[in-house]
Structure 1
């Protein structure tokens, strides 16, 4: 029961703490990278629905009866982390891949174990290396969406940088 209380507090806290870093990014950065990061968060949310159906992973804790434990991770650390990673590395693709590899590795091989130990979530039919591949593919999508957005924005003469 103690772990359940901690889990129910930890997930929203991670979401709130992520959002508290937004002022550090600045208005221009948010305007530039939020749309593609939101698009990826929507894709991750849809992926979560597929994962539930196919039992790739399972959340044991809900922060609300209608919200799975994945909600605060998607709309907190994933969304805001995507903006930060783009802000720090966009235009330097090798650094982007390296930073994503580091963050995704820590999540897959450390944080997933922590979630399991706390009784929050666990991988079911997905192996850690498969989760790593999913993260890699999503990082390529995020960067690709941003490249397309920047080309369209420049092409329309509305460069927001």
Structure 2
């Protein structure tokens, strides 16, 4: 499609406009889990390219992972928002993630394919949904572990 670059740029930038609506405490608290998953997704993207799970005919720049706009835009900011409203309520967290991931898998992938951004190759939509579910659980587990370690370190540090 003719305006693919514009759509991808907007997809990357627009979620960041909601960042001021999150308070600093929320961003600081959930930044580790969100960053961990972004790094994981970058690694997964490299593997997915080699295994041909999906294909990006659109390239952001040479030698830059094509899914980077998805990772640094809607995924990163979306993770902060989902954590803000669901952290500590695992069932709600999973439910919200299933809804968001299903919208992505069954609607956004079709739109992205239409504009020439991405298409699934060796991964079915159900497999992608399961992969998203596993990653959601992994991100939540990382955040829980981080908070346990951080709170333990905070309790063991001397007061000033």
TM-score normalized by structure 1? 0.93
1:50-104 CA-to-partner distances (Å, cap 9, x unmatched) read 0000000011111223324311001111111111110110011111011000000
Q: Of residues 77, 82, 89 in structure 2, which corresponds to 1:85?
A: 82
Paired position in structure 1 for 2:26: 29
**Which residues of structure 2 form unaligned runs of 5+?**
156-160
Paired position in structure 1 for 2:158: none
- Residue pair 1:61, 1:68 contacting (<8 A) in 2 also: no
Distance between the aligned counterparts of 1:156 and 1:65, measured in 2? 42
Determine if the alignment matches structure 1 residue 101 to structure 2 residue 98.
yes
TM-score normalized by structure 2? 0.93
Cα root mean square deviation, aligned: 1.1
**Which residues of structure 1 form unaligned runs of 5+?**
none
Q: Of residues 144, 151, 154 in structure 1, which corresponds to 2:148?
A: 151
1:24-58 CA-to-partner distances (Å, cap 9, x unmatched) read 11100010001110110010111000000000001
**Offset at residue 119 of structure 1 (A):** 1.2
Paired position in structure 2 for 1:74: 71
Distance between the aligned counterparts of 1:146 and 1:156, measured in 2? 15
Paired position in structure 2 for 1:111: 108
Distance between the aligned counterparts of 1:12 and 1:67, measured in 2? 15
- Residue pair 1:12, 1:63 contacting (<8 A) in 2 also: no
Determine if the alignment matches structure 1 residue 131 to structure 2 residue 138.
no
Distance between the aligned counterparts of 1:60 and 1:78, measured in 2? 20
Paired position in structure 2 for 1:11: 8
Distance between the aligned counterparts of 2:125 and 2:76, measured in 1? 21
